[in-house]
């Protein structure tokens, strides 16, 4: 009995029935479909995220480039497509499957061929130095424009202190008040004022003395 059981155990089991094979294939197809849907959804979210990031980068006036972390070629291709869509420039640097990554630039900050060659060789310091020089030149131009605007604003109208208080208060007292007050008024006879020329004694000194002497003598002469 034990010998028969061992023989039966060593025999191959009968193949699965067609119904079991069909169910297994159906499950595999469903799993594969679910996997593809998940990958599709993942790529869709990645695309939306990259587009949002590049739009924000494009609107930032101070930003010159945006660098992404190392990723597979499929994802780098999406970055390049979206960058091209928004009039940006994308390059990839590094070794594939190790540190290959994408960098997106604004067109005005696109690296030269010399700088690209240095970046592809991993000589990042060369590009950073060139970029720093460009930033300094742009800042210098901005400073000059700002200084010129300040000079124009301050020199557009000469402001001189007004020391003439007659003009300063002209709207209150009138321009002719000071001048009129400085003039010597002519005496008016209707107010009882006689010109000094009418008051002057035209006699000579000798005549005045003689007249005074005669007047005294008349006063001293006894009356009858």
What are the residue boundaries of the structural domains of the chain, listed by start? 37-110, 112-149
| pLDDT given for residue 123 in this prediction | 75
| pLDDT given for residue 41 in this prediction | 94
- 102: tokens are 């994408």
Supply the DSSP symbol for 106: -
| pLDDT given for residue 156 in this prediction | 52
Q: How far apart are CA 88 and CA 110, in angstroms?
A: 9
pTM of the predicted protein model? 0.47
| Phi, then psi, of 173 in degrees rounded to 5 | -110, -10
| pLDDT given for residue 182 in this prediction | 45
Contact between residue 106 and residue 62 where contact means Cβ atoms under 8 Å apart: no
pLDDT digits (tens, 9 = 90+) for 53-97: 999 999 999 999 999 999 999 999 999 999 999 999 999 999 988
- 175: tokens are 């321009």
Listed as ranges, residues in the chain with pLDDT below 50 are 158-159, 161-163, 165-178, 180-192, 194, 199, 224
| pLDDT given for residue 222 in this prediction | 56
Task: Provide the CA 103 distance to its chain's centre, in angstroms.
Answer: 27
Q: How far apart are CA 141 and CA 138, in angstroms?
A: 5
| pLDDT given for residue 4 in this prediction | 56
Where does 37-110 sit in CATH, by number?
Answer: 3.30.1370.50
Is residue 104 packed enough to be buried (19+ CB in 10 Å), middle (13-18) or exposed (0-12)? buried
């Amino acid at each position: 009995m034990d010998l028969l059981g061992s023989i039966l155990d060593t025999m191959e089991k009968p193949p699965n029935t067609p119904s079991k094979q069909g169910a297994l294939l159906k499950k595999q197809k469903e799993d594969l479909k679910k996997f593809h849907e998940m990958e599709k959804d993942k790529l869709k979210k990645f695309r939306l995220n990259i587009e949002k990031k590049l739009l924000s980068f494009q609107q930032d006036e101070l930003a010159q480039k945006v660098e992404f972390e190392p990723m597979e070629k499929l994802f780098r291709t999406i970055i390049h497509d979206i960058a091209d869509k928004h009039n940006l420039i994308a390059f990839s640097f590094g070794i594939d499957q190790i540190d290959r990554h994408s960098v997106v630039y604004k067109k005005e900050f696109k690296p030269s061929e010399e700088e690209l060659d240095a970046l592809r060789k991993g000589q990042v310091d060369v590009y950073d130095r060139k970029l720093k020089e460009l930033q300094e030149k742009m800042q210098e131009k901005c400073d000059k424009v700002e200084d010129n605007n300040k000079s124009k604003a301050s020199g557009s109208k000469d402001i001189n202190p007004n020391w003439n208080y007659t003009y300063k208060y002209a709207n209150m007292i009138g321009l002719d008040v000071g001048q009129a007050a400085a003039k010597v008024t002519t005496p008016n006879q209707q107010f009882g004022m006689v010109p000094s020329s009418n008051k002057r004694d035209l006699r000579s000194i000798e005549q005045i003395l003689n007249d005074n002497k005669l007047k005294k003598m008349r006063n001293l002469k006894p009356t009858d």
